[in-house]
């Protein structure tokens, strides 16, 4: 049985360039700096490892320096579920914003936001933008 999920969109302003940020979002080495303890790539499939567990996502959509989508694979509970990173640059200020679009089960929204906030703090430290 598939659980109906809510789409959540989060926005973070980062002091970096779109190219550097895109590298952190779209490559195994970039993702291993802030998103997972280790990341191994096999074609379009990224194996994400955290403290003894691992999950697989497929890089299902990408536009250089603009966005990346990852779709969970090999997990019945997450069938058809994806998360996306969008990079927006404000035309007037030049501010670089990272937009995260994710799916969350009912009742888990606050926990999911807390997880993303912690991950983004790690990303900011790695970028030197804290």
Structural domain boundaries of the chain? 6-127
Q: What is the pLDDT of residues 92-125, one digit of tens each?
A: 999 999 999 999 988 899 999 999 999 999 999 9
Predicted TM-score (pTM) of the model is: 0.91
Q: In what order do the strands lie in the sheet with 82-89?
A: 6-14, 96-104, 82-89, 67-73, 53-63, 45-50, 38-42
Q: What is the pLDDT of residues 15-70, one digit of tens each?
A: 999 999 999 999 999 999 999 999 999 988 999 999 989 999 999 999 999 999 99
User: What class, spelled out in words, does domain 6-127 have in CATH?
Assistant: alpha beta
For Cα atoms 39, 106, 50, give the angle at the middle one, nearest 5 degrees.
20
Cβ count within 10 A of residue 92: 5
Q: How many angstroms separate the Cα of 113 from the Cα of each of 8, 61, 91, 103, 116?
A: 9, 23, 27, 11, 5
């Amino acid at each position: 049985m598939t659980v109906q999920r809510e789409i959540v969109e989060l926005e973070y302003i980062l002091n970096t360039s779109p190219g550097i940020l895109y590298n952190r979002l779209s490559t195994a080495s970039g993702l291993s700096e802030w998103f997972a303890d280790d990341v191994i790539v096999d074609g379009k499939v990224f194996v994400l490892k955290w403290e003894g567990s691992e999950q697989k996502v497929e890089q299902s959509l990408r536009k250089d320096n603009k966005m990346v989508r990852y779709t969970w694979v090999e997990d019945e509970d997450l069938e058809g579920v994806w998360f996306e990173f969008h990079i927006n640059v404000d035309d007037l200020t030049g501010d670089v914003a990272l937009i995260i679009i994710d799916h969350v089960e009912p009742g888990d929204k606050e926990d999911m936001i807390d997880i993303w906030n912690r991950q983004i703090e790690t990303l900011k430290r790695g970028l030197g933008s804290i």
